Structure 1
C-alpha cells in the first residue's frame, strides 16, 4: 500500500524556517520532520511513498538522493572517483518524488498523485505533523466501514496555557490537550481511488468541496484519536516538538520501542487501550 505525503505548500506561517527550505524539511533533532513522518509509517511496514512536491521541491529531491551517503560511512577513492558506502541506515523505502506545481492547491496535489497510487487503497498525510497513531488500527477501521474515505480527527493541544482560577488567583497553570472543543482534521487519511472523482482541478482545496461532498454522500468516516498529535504550523509548534525530542521523550518516536516478532507481518507489539476507535492519551 502506498503512502501519499503532501509536501508542496509555501509554509508561510513558519517563514523563519521556510525562506530557504520547504516546511517538510524543517528539522526536529537532526532530521527533517518529513523523515519523522516516514519513520512512523515504516514502523507499521508501510514503505512505498509518493511525495507531492511544490515549493522548493528540489531540496527534498536532493535530500532523498543523498540520504544513504549522508547517513553512512564512506570510502572515497579520489583517483577513480569510486565511492563505497558501509554501515549507516538504509531503510527499505521506495520514494516517488512528483512535481505537483508551485501554486497547486491541496486537492489538486492529491489528484496529480492519482497515476502513481496503483488504483487501490492508499494512505495520505501532510508533511508537517507527527503522531503516535496506530496506523494498522486506522486501516482496520477503514476496511470495516467500507466507505471511500477515513479522516483521523483529533483534539489538538491548545496554543496557550490554561489557567485554573479561584477568584482572581491562579491555582493551576498548565498546557493541556484541547478537551473542551470540537474535533479537527488531523490528516492521516485512508482513501479509496474513488475520491479522485471528487477533485475538480488544481485549484480545488481538499478540505473544502471534496471533503464536504464526501460527507454529504455518506462516504467520509471519522477515526477519533485522543493520543499524541502535533502539527508544525508555527515556530512555537516547532520549538515544542524540538523540546520533546531533546527531552528523550518524544511520543511519536515509536520506532525505537520494542517490537513483536510479528512486525514483519505488519502487526506491531504496542497497542493503545481504549473504546471503539478511541485510544488513551499517552502522557508526556
Structure 2
C-alpha cells in the first residue's frame, strides 16, 4: 500500500481534488475508495478531460465522473500477466484488490517491467585451463576471453543481473587474480561476488564443497563460465521448484543424421535395416539447479564430477529432473566455437537486452 494511500480519495471529493492528485503524483491514476479502502472507481487525466468537455464543473463530486468498472488484478496475478494486461489496455497502472475488492496495492508499468529480485545463489565455474583454446588462454582464463566488447564471463553475469539475480560465487583456479581484479566485489554490476579457489582441480562438482556454510536455504544455480546462452534462468528456476526436483539438469535436444544405411545384426543375421537414420539425444548444457541438500553433500576437498554426484543422489531416490531449453546456447570449447561466438554475440545478446527492457 506504500504507493497507493497517497492517491486514494473519497467519492465526495471534487474533480479539482482529483486533478491535484493527478498533477502531483507519478502514477497518473487516482483511486476512489470507501473509508475501509474498498475500490469504487478510478479516474485518470483522460477521464477528467472528457468530464470537462461534457460541461462538468471542477467542484462536482469525483464519483460523478469516475470509471466505475476499472480493470483490476489480484495478488495471485503474475507480473507477466499484469504487464500483458497493461499493454493490451494501454494502462500505466492497475489496482491490486482482494476478494472483497479492497485495494491492497498498485502495479505500475514501470514496476512490472523491472526484473523480480531473486536471492538464489549463482555459482559459476571459471577455473579451467582452456587448453583447446591455446595460445589465447596461455595468459588468460578462458571465461575472461573477450566476446565482442567484454569477457564472456561478464556477459554471463550481466544476463543474470538483468533477470534479477545478484548473489554470485565464482570458482577459480587458473590465473584467479585476473578474474578477481576485473570483477572485484561485483558492485560495478549491481551484484555481490564472492570467490572460492580450487588449489587442485576438483572436477565439475567438487567446488561445491568449497562454498560457505551459510548459503541461503534455497535452490542454487550452477553453471560453467564458458557458455553463452539466452536461457531464461527465472523459468528454469520456476520449473525446478514447481516440479519439486532435488536437482535439475538443463538439457537441449541434439540430433545426428547418419549419412549411410545402418544395419543391425544378431548371429550374423540382419535384424533391421534403416536408411540414413536420424538419432536424437538430450545433451547436458552444463547448467544445473541444485537444492541445498545436494550442495551440502559435497565435502570440502572432495573430487567429483556432476554426473557422478547426481547419479549418487538418484540412486538414493532423489528427484533428479531435466529442463529442456530451446534458447540460444553455445559451449565455447574449441576455436571454431570462439569464432562463432564473435559472430553471434551482437545478434543474440542485443536481442536479449531488448527482451529484458520490454
TM over 0.5: yes
CA distance in 2, matches of 1:148, 1:67: 29
Equivalent position to 1:122, from 220, 225, 239 = 220
Q: CA deviation at 1:238?
A: 0.4
Q: Which residue of 1 aligns with 2:339?
A: 239
Equivalent position to 1:223, from 323, 341, 350 = 323
Q: Which residue of 1 aligns with 2:301?
A: 202
| 1:146 paired to 2:237 | no
CA distance in 1, matches of 2:310, 2:298: 9
Q: 1:219 to 1:96 in 2, by over 3 A?
A: same
Q: Which residue of 2 aligns with 1:4?
A: 123
Q: Which residue of 2 aligns with 1:103?
A: 201
Q: 1:24 to 1:51 in 2, by over 3 A?
A: same
CA distance in 2, matches of 1:203, 1:58: 24
CA distance in 2, matches of 1:184, 1:255: 23
CA distance in 2, matches of 1:147, 1:189: 11
Equivalent position to 2:138, from 4, 14, 19 = 19
For the Cα contact (< 8 Å) 1:8–1:57, is it kept in 2? yes
Q: Once superposed, what is the RMSD of the aligned Cα atoms?
A: 2.7
Q: CA deviation at 1:252?
A: 4.0
Report the structure number with the largest CA radius of gyration: 2
Which fold has the larger relative contact order, with Cα–Cα distance below 8 Å and residues 6 or more apart in sequence? 1
Q: CA deviation at 1:212?
A: 1.4
- For these two proteins, the number of residue pairs brought into alignment is 221
Q: Which residue of 1 aligns with 2:235?
A: 137
Q: Secondary structure at the match of 1:186?
A: strand
CA distance in 1, matches of 2:146, 2:312: 36
Q: Secondary structure at the match of 1:188?
A: strand
Q: Secondary structure at the match of 1:50?
A: strand
Q: Secondary structure at the match of 1:181?
A: strand
Q: Which residue of 2 aligns with 1:63?
A: 182
CA distance in 2, matches of 1:259, 1:32: 20
Q: Which residue of 2 aligns with 1:41?
A: 160
CA distance in 1, matches of 2:330, 2:156: 12
CA distance in 1, matches of 2:169, 2:307: 23
Q: 1:208 to 1:136 in 2, by over 3 A?
A: closer
Q: 1:32 to 1:259 in 2, by over 3 A?
A: closer
CA distance in 2, matches of 1:112, 1:189: 17
Q: CA deviation at 1:187?
A: 2.2
CA distance in 2, matches of 1:164, 1:136: 39
Q: How does 1:260-279 map to 2 (within 5 A)?
A: none
CA distance in 1, matches of 2:232, 2:167: 18
Q: Secondary structure at the match of 1:16?
A: coil
Q: Please list the CA deviations of residues 56-94 of structure 1 after superposition, one character each: whole Å capped at 9, or x if unmatched.
A: 1111011113988xxxxxxxxxxxxxxxxxxxxx42111
- Structure 2 segments unaligned to the other structure (5+ residues): 1-119, 261-277
Q: CA deviation at 1:255?
A: 4.4
Q: CA deviation at 1:133?
A: 1.1
Q: Which residue of 2 aligns with 1:256?
A: 353
For the Cα contact (< 8 Å) 2:202–2:304, is it kept in 1? no
For the Cα contact (< 8 Å) 2:254–2:280, is it kept in 1? no
For the Cα contact (< 8 Å) 1:54–1:100, is it kept in 2? yes
Q: 1:116 to 1:123 in 2, by over 3 A?
A: farther
